[in-house]
Amino acid sequence: MKVNLFWTYIILFVCQISTVCGQDPDTNTKKVESFNGLFALQVGIPTGDMQEAIKNNMGNAGIGAGLILLSNPATWGTKNKRNSPLRVGIEAGYTYYGRFISEVNINGYDGDYKTSYGIFQLNALVQVRPPVSEKITPFIELLAGGNFYISTIKENLDLIETSLGIENFDIESYSSASFNKGLAVGCYVGGHQKADAVRLALRASYNRGGNINYVVRNSVVYDPSGNRLGYEVGEAPANYFMVQVGIGW
């Protein structure tokens, strides 16, 4: 249902972009835009298949931040620079999906260990949009890159230990990566009267990735044979929606 609704939004955005581009504004009367970007807070919403890898107390959602940098290919070179409906660039961001506490007995001593985990995304993207900024500037993007699952296991210090300046340290870390591809739609709102103005930015994307390996929740145990902490590793596809709200330029 969510996927069907997302595709409906994409069709509506394509129609909106076509309408705006079809108005053929005089692009020579506005400053040529060489670079655009977006910085936003984001919420990651895993699909059903991916939720097995998350299992947190936040409705299986995650929170984070992302940055997008875009360049106008029609401004490359020294001559004939102009506005165009095409942008190319990169997207980078991190989404924190939570943590879990494991009570582990090591040679008769009980200790709590905290496992935190999240996903770093890095994508190349192509954006299609109206050639010049309007009051509401819609866009649609194709993206491809990678998802990088990152987890760390640390001692879980209490408030007193933290206040005394005792530092916890990474005991174990685990990561995996998978290919990612997806579609995004969004818009910039306001700020069109002034060149390089900061505007409200809204963006939603659907990311469909390959399988990632992850640390199974509450599986951390002490392995006496190796004198180290061990854990179970699971596998799940990195398929998720991303909703972003921030500033654009």
> What pLDDT, in 10s, does the model give residues 220-234?
888 787 777 888 999
Query: What is the SS3 string spanning 196-227?
Result: CCCEEEEEEEEEEEEEEEEECCCCCEEECCCC
237 assigned to some structural domain:
yes
6: left (phi over 0), alpha (psi -120 to 50) or beta: alpha
User: Any idea what the CATH number is for the domain that residue 73 is in?
Assistant: 2.40.160.20
Per-residue pLDDT, 160 = 38
Per-residue pLDDT, 151 = 95
Which stretch of DSSP H or E encloses residue 3? helix 2-22
Per-residue pLDDT, 8 = 58
Token readout for 72 is 């106008």
75 assigned to some structural domain:
yes
Domain count, the chain: 1
Residue type, 163: S
Q: Which residues contact 184 (CB under 8 A, 6 or more apart)?
A: 125, 140, 141, 143, 203, 204, 205, 206, 242
Q: 80 φ, ψ to 5°?
A: 55, 40
179 assigned to some structural domain:
yes
Per-residue pLDDT, 123 = 98
Per-residue pLDDT, 78 = 77
- Contact between 171 and 154 under an 8 Å Cβ cutoff? The reply is yes
25 assigned to some structural domain:
no
141 assigned to some structural domain:
yes
Per-residue pLDDT, 51 = 95
174 assigned to some structural domain:
yes
Q: Which residues contact 177 (CB under 8 A, 6 or more apart)?
A: 146, 147, 148, 149, 212
SS3 (DSSP) at 167: coil
23 assigned to some structural domain:
no
- Residue pLDDT tens, the chain, 249 long: 555 555 555 555 555 554 544 444 454 456 888 899 999 999 999 999 999 999 999 999 999 999 999 999 999 987 888 989 999 999 999 999 999 888 877 666 667 888 999 999 999 999 999 988 888 999 999 999 999 999 998 877 554 344 434 455 557 889 999 999 999 999 999 876 666 689 999 999 999 999 999 999 888 888 787 777 888 999 999 999 999 999 998
Which stretch of DSSP H or E encloses residue 189? strand 170-189
Separation CA 130–CA 30 (nearest Å): 13
26 assigned to some structural domain:
no
Per-residue pLDDT, 163 = 43
- Contact between 50 and 62 under an 8 Å Cβ cutoff? The reply is no
Residue type, 63: I
- Domain extent for 221: 2-18+31-248
